[in-house]
């Protein structure tokens, strides 16, 4: 609408406004958007709640992240902006669950806690749209306190339901291979830099020489070095300083992410991922997988990072060859309660991990990356590097849970219990990874800005 000022809320954030043309918007998976509004003062606010509760310190440091601390905090901040406690009304959305989430249950726990805290605070809930297995877009309009809740991929859902019974619309292997051969991820400079880093022993001078040949790349690396996330007191003015301050592994991660940014940034319409959402999901999964790897003391966290970054690469190709067929995939998901993955297979003849495996082979990626891409939704299938596959599987599930690029597929692809068992992960540990999402988002933002 004309004149609207949209404010996008990331997980764990809160925003309050009394500007009549302001709209607060957020994407929700298992998280809950709590919108409060005072219709007299026309002050509204929203918190994107990630978990039911944390310990005292955590709640004090990041109150908006948790239902128990976030709702009282939101109320307090709204009173400062002129709202009156007695006038406040709530509208809530979110709290979706992954199908067969093997007891993680964060969506249901969030719903219960949000309802409990709102009732303790004596705030009536006027509208709620919670539960299910799909992500939502939630908007609060400050002019009148109205809210809008849509499923992510609403258009695809409508097209899916308007279609008569779907025919099998298989994709040809010839077309797949043709599109795969056209997918060029890395510039020549990037390829040379990475091969220098891989060589043992490598020379930092040589790396610098290669990077300096690409001015845009140099500028982007420096931008990331100077982003608030790394918080260096002094300005990083040149590459040598950047490498010293960040360490070579971080520089390598930056290079990798930037080298795939071009192919990961465009919108992936078949999956209802807007421009930038897919890249956000890829980076989110990369950072989350690396975090799990470090926590589990996996010796090569960089490999896990790369696996996370590239796990969904098959989606790019499937979207290119079957853009006009995804409503049929979605129809199977909605009508037959099928996972998006199974519906891809049944409708198109291929799944995105299968196509991703073809891409990975075409790019001559190491075997461990090929496996992570090929099995990221089916970690129970036999492979050589089950730990890497399991870490990517869980990282992907966490990103979808918190609404980072879950797209139209939502939470219909299950979590496999074997991945949790293999990594010796239980519910509370998953919560502790979910807790780190706001930090990961900050990190993603530094890469998006580059």
Quick check: 351 and 377 in contact, CB under 8 A?
Answer: yes
Write out the binding residues for Fe ion, residues 74-113 only, by CB under 5 A: none
Binding string, 116-155, against Fe ion, x = CB under 5 A? Answer: ----------------------------------------
Secondary-structure percent of the chain, ordered helix, strand, coil, rounded to 5: 55, 15, 35
Residue whose CB is less far from Fe ion, 227 or 257: 257
In this structure, are strands 5-9 and 22-28 parallel, antiparallel, or unpaired? parallel
Signed CA dihedral, 253, 255, 259, 261: sign only: positive
C-alpha distances (whole Å) from 375 to each of 26, 210, 250, 357, 394 are 30, 35, 27, 9, 12
Quick check: 320 and 176 in contact, CB under 8 A?
Answer: no
Residue whose CB is less far from Fe ion, 59 or 312: 312
Write out the binding residues for Fe ion, residues 395-424 only, by CB under 5 A: 396
Least gap, CB of 352 to Fe ion (angstroms)? 6
- The reply on whether position 312 binds Fe ion by CB under 5 A is yes
Least gap, CB of 436 to Fe ion (angstroms)? 18
Least gap, CB of 373 to Fe ion (angstroms)? 9
In this structure, are strands 136-141 and 22-28 parallel, antiparallel, or unpaired? antiparallel
Write out the binding residues for Fe ion, residues 260-279 only, by CB under 5 A: none
Least gap, CB of 372 to Fe ion (angstroms)? 11
Least gap, CB of 333 to Fe ion (angstroms)? 14
Binding string, 211-230, against Fe ion, x = CB under 5 A? Answer: --------------------
> How many residues touch Fe ion (CB under 5 A)?
2
Residue whose CB is less far from Fe ion, 146 or 267: 267
Q: CB under 5 A: which stretch of 48-56, 64-72, 311-319, 342-350 binds Fe ion?
A: 311-319
Size of the chain in residues: 450
Could you tell me the two tokens for 6? 């949209």
Could you tell me the two tokens for 54? 């944390």
Least gap, CB of 406 to Fe ion (angstroms)? 8
Residue whose CB is less far from Fe ion, 129 or 396: 396
Write out the binding residues for Fe ion, residues 338-397 only, by CB under 5 A: 396
User: Among the options 31, 225, 285, 406, which is catalytic?
Assistant: 31
Residue whose CB is less far from Fe ion, 34 or 341: 341
Could you tell me the two tokens for 201? 């022993």
Residue whose CB is less far from Fe ion, 210 or 396: 396
Least gap, CB of 56 to Fe ion (angstroms)? 34
Signed CA dihedral, 46, 288, 130, 57: sign only: negative
Could you tell me the two tokens for 290? 């690396």
Task: Pinpoint the alpha helices (H) of 381-436.
Answer: 386-401, 417-422, 427-435
In this structure, are strands 136-141 and 147-151 parallel, antiparallel, or unpaired? antiparallel
> What is the H or E stretch that residue 162 is in?
helix 154-162
Residue of minimal Cβ distance to Fe ion: 396
Quick check: 6 and 25 in contact, CB under 8 A?
Answer: yes
Q: CB under 5 A: which stretch of 24-32, 60-68, 308-316, 435-443 binds Fe ion?
A: 308-316
Residue whose CB is less far from Fe ion, 106 or 318: 318
Is 31 part of the annotated catalytic residue set? yes
Q: Provide φ and ψ at 37, rounded to 5°.
A: -145, 140
Strand order through the sheet with 125-130: 14-17, 43-49, 32-38, 89-94, 125-130
Count of other CB atoms within 10 angstroms of residue 131:
14
Q: CB under 5 A: which stretch of 130-138, 240-248, 309-317, 327-335 binds Fe ion?
A: 309-317
Q: CB under 5 A: which stretch of 119-127, 193-201, 301-309, 312-320 binds Fe ion?
A: 312-320
b/e string for 37-46 if b means 16 or more Cβ within 10 A?
Answer: bbeebbbbbb
User: Would you tell me which residues interact with Fe ion (CB under 5 A)?
Assistant: 312, 396
Active-site positions read 31
């Amino acid at each position: 609408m004309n004149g609207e000022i949209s404010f996008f809320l990331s997980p764990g954030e809160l925003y309050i406004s009394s500007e009549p043309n302001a709209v607060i918007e957020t994407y929700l998976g298992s998280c809950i958007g709590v919108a409060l509004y005072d219709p007299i003062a026309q002050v509204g606010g929203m918190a994107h709640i990630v978990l039911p509760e944390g310990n005292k310190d955590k709640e004090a440091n990041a109150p908006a992240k948790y239902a128990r601390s976030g709702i009282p905090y939101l109320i307090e901040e709204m009173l400062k902006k002129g709202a009156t406690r007695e006038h406040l009304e709530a509208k809530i959305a979110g709290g979706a669950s992954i199908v067969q989430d093997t007891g993680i249950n964060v969506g249901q726990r969030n719903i219960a806690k949000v309802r409990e805290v709102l009732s303790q605070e004596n705030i009536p809930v006027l509208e709620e749209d919670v539960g299910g297995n799909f992500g939502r877009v939630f908007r609060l309009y400050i002019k009148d306190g109205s809210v809008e809740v849509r499923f992510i991929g609403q258009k695809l859902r409508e097209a899916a339901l308007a279609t008569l019974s779907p025919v099998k619309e298989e994709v040809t292997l010839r077309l797949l291979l043709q599109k795969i051969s056209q997918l060029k991820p890395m510039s020549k400079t990037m390829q040379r830099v990475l091969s220098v880093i891989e060589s043992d022993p490598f020379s930092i001078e040589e790396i610098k020489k290669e990077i300096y040949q690409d001015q845009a790349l140099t500028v982007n690396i420096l931008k990331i070095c100077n982003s608030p996330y790394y918080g260096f007191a002094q300005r990083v003015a040149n590459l040598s300083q950047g490498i010293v301050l960040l360490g070579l592994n971080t520089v390598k991660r930056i290079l990798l992410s930037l080298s795939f940014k071009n192919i990961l940034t465009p919108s992936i319409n078949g999956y209802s991922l807007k421009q930038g959402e897919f890249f956000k999901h890829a980076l989110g999964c990369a950072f989350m997988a690396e975090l799990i790897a470090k926590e589990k003391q996996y010796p090569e966290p960089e490999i896990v990072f790369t696996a996370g970054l590239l796990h969904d690469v098959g989606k790019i190709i499937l979207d290119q060859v079957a853009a006009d067929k995804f409503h049929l995939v979605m129809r199977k998901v909605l009508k037959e309660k099928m996972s998006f993955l199974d519906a891809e297979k049944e409708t198109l003849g291929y799944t995105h991990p299968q196509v991703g495996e073809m891409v990975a082979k075409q790019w001559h990626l190491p075997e461990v990356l090929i496996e992570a891409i090929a099995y990221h939704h089916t970690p129970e299938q036999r492979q050589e590097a089950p730990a890497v596959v399991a870490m990517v599987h869980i990282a992907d599930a966490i990103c979808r849970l918190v609404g980072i690029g879950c797209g139209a597929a939502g939470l219909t692809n299950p979590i496999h219990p074997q991945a949790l068992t293999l990594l010796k992960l239980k519910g509370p540990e998953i919560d502790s990874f979910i807790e780190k999402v706001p930090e990961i988002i900050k990190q993603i933002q530094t890469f998006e800005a580059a």
